[in-house]
Amino acid sequence: MLVELAVGDAYGAGFEYAEPDFVAAHNTLRGYVSHPTHGQLPGAYTDDTQMTLALAELLADGDPWTPEHIAERFVDAFHRDPRPGYAGGFQAFLVGVRTGADFLARIRPHSDKSGAAMRVAPVGLLSTVDEVLHRAEVQARVTHDTPDGIASASAAALAVHYCRHGLGPVAEVGAWIADRLGSPVWARPWQGKVGSKGVMSVRAALTALAGHDSQSEVLRACVAFTGDVDTVATIALAAASWVLPNDLPQVLLDDLENGTYGRDHLAQLDARLRECG
């Protein structure tokens, strides 16, 4: 799951908010693309994967799921391996904090953007819906203590849970989540450019997931929306990795970054996570 979601993140990063013409011309899955303006290295993942790693390691280590531990993991994940890709204001905030306590004292957790949803996939592996919802909410409140911030994180975690535990046909994932969360919005297909709100990214991810038969088709569909597509692809591939055939092109696996916290680290952590849920 972590390797696949990182491929989605790194591939999508080449297209984040790029012009539709650029996306149409280069969204071929033949390799990672240099973003037309960001200067991000092809194959490098972004904040989505780095923050997912922070939560995956906390889950695998079995430490208490508290705001303090969660914030500490976010701070550690950033400072051990600083990278661009975070929203500018949050990146500056992370540079300035050194401990989880400092993070919690200074964060203004009022965002309804996609940050709490993009990182939540490991939570979906837990064995009950109640536990998934509880942990998704606790981690969301650290930075996104808003109704939509929490709901989008809950929906993204439930998508992984549904796929991981084989709870129904993938085409019905949105309807199942809509039932669990008591809101029809999650069953409504997304169309067009994806903005920064969490609800947008998760709806787009669920639409791509429900409408395609393989991981490469899902990835291409996520990017074709245009907009915040690294986040859409991260969320969709985390869930897709459990149910759809893995036909991601070998070049995307080979060229995924593989430094200290790259592909091999993700694969090792994937193996540990399989014992968690």
Percent helix, strand, coil in the chain, to 5, is 60, 0, 35
- Whichever of 117 and 177 has its CB closer to Mg ion, that residue is 117
Rounded Cα distance, 121 and 119, in Å: 6
**In whole angstroms, how close is the CB of 200 to Mg ion at the nearest point?**
14
Phi-psi group of 54: left, alpha or beta (phi > 0 → left; psi -120 to 50 → alpha; rest → beta): alpha
Minimum Å gap between C-beta 262 and Mg ion is 16
Spell out the SS3 assignment of 76-125.
Answer: HHHHCCCCCCCCHHHHHHHHHCCCHHHHHHHCCCECCECHHHHCCHHHHH
Task: State which residue has the least CB distance to Mg ion.
Answer: 46
What number of other Cβ atoms are within 10 A of residue 81's Cβ? 14
Cβ-count burial 85-98 (b if 16+ within 10 Å, e if not): bbeeebbebbeebe
- C-alpha closest to that of 9 among 89, 93, 109, 86: 86
With residue 22 as reference, give the H or E element that holds it: helix 20-26
229 closest CA partner among 191, 193, 199: 193
Read off the tokens for 186: 């999650």
Using the minimum distance from each CB to Mg ion, give the nearer residue, 9 or 133.
9
| Coil/strand/helix, residue 259 | coil
In whole angstroms, the minimum distance from the beta carbon of 244 to Mg ion comes to 22
Q: How far is the CB of 66 from Mg ion (least distance, A)?
A: 25
For the CB of residue 45, give the shortest distance to Mg ion in the complex, in Å. Answer: 8
Min CB(231)–Mg ion separation in Å: 6
Complex with Mg ion: residue 46 or 226, whichever CB lies closer: 46
The answer to whether the beta carbons of residues 153 and 113 sit under 8 Å apart is no
Q: How far apart are CA 63 and CA 51, in angstroms?
A: 16
Closest CB to Mg ion among residues 27, 170: 27
Q: Which is nearer to Mg ion, 57 or 228 (CB)?
A: 228
Amino acid letter for position 218: V
Instruction: Compare residues 6 and 160 and give the one whose CB is closer to Mg ion.
Output: 6
- Note the residues at the interface with Mg ion (CB under 5 A): 46-48, 85, 230
Q: Annotated binding site for Mg(2+), which residues?
A: 46-48
